[in-house]
Structure 1
Amino acid sequence: MADIKGILFDKDGTLVDFEATWFAIGDQMAMEAAGGDRIRANELMQAAGYDYASKGFVPDSVFAAGTNADIVELWYPDADDADRLSHVRHFDRITAEQGALQAVALPGCIETISTLHRSGLRLGVCTNDSTSGAEKTLAALGIAQMFDAAYGYDAVANPKPAPDTITAFLDLTGLKASEIAVVGDNRHDLVMARAGGAGLAVGVLSGTGTRETLAPIADVILDSIADLPGYLTGRA
Structure 2
Amino acid sequence: MIKGLIFDKDGTLFDFNATWGAWTWQMITTETADNPAKGTALAEAMGYDMKNRRFLPGSVVIAATVEETANVMLTVLTDDTQDTLIPRMNAAAGAVEQVQAVPLIPLFDDLRARGLQLGIATNDAAEPALLNLTSAGVRDHFHFIAGYDSGHGAKPGTGQLDAFCRQTGLAPYHCAMIGDSTHDLQAGRAAGMTTIGVLTGPAPAAELAPLADVLLPGIGHIPAWLDAQS
Q: Does 1:213 align with 2:207?
A: yes
Question: In 2, Cα distance between the equivalents of 1:29 and 1:168?
Answer: 33
Question: In 2, Cα distance between the equivalents of 1:201 and 1:139?
Answer: 26
Paired residues of 2:102 and 2:219 also in contact (CA < 8 A):
no
- Counterpart residue type for residue 219 of structure 1: D
Structure 1 equivalent of residue 106 of structure 2: 111
Paired residues of 2:22 and 2:54 also in contact (CA < 8 A):
no
Structure 1 equivalent of residue 125 of structure 2: 130
Q: CA deviation at 1:107?
A: 2.5
Q: Cα RMSD between the aligned structures?
A: 2.1
Structure 2 equivalent of residue 94 of structure 1: 92
1:24-103 equivalent positions in 2, closer than 5 A = 24-34=22-32, 36-52=34-50, 55-77=53-75, 83-98=81-96, 102-103=97-98
Secondary structure of residue in 2 paired with 1:138: helix
Q: Which of these residues, 125, 139, 147, is aligned with residue 142 of structure 2?
A: 147
Question: In 2, Cα distance between the equivalents of 1:59 and 1:113?
Answer: 29
Q: Does 1:21 align with 2:19?
A: yes
Paired residues of 1:33 and 1:75 also in contact (CA < 8 A):
no
- Between 1:47-56 and 1:124-133, the stretch displaced more is 47-56
Paired residues of 2:8 and 2:180 also in contact (CA < 8 A):
yes
Secondary structure of residue in 2 paired with 1:216: helix
Paired residues of 2:8 and 2:179 also in contact (CA < 8 A):
yes
Gaps of 5+ in 2: none
- Counterpart residue type for residue 74 of structure 2: Y
- Counterpart residue type for residue 209 of structure 1: A
Question: In 1, Cα distance between the equivalents of 2:34 and 2:147?
Answer: 29
Gaps of 5+ in 1: none
Question: In 2, Cα distance between the equivalents of 1:163 and 1:60?
Answer: 21
- Counterpart residue type for residue 220 of structure 2: A
Q: Does 1:162 align with 2:157?
A: yes
Q: Share of identical aligned residues, percent? A: 33
- 1:131-153 superposed Cα distances (whole Å, 9 cap, x missing partner): 11111111111111111122111
Secondary structure of residue in 2 paired with 1:215: helix
1:6-17 equivalent positions in 2, closer than 5 A = 6-17=4-15
Question: In 2, Cα distance between the equivalents of 1:47 and 1:111?
Answer: 38
Structure 2 equivalent of residue 196 of structure 1: 191
- Counterpart residue type for residue 222 of structure 2: L
TM-score by length of 1: 0.89
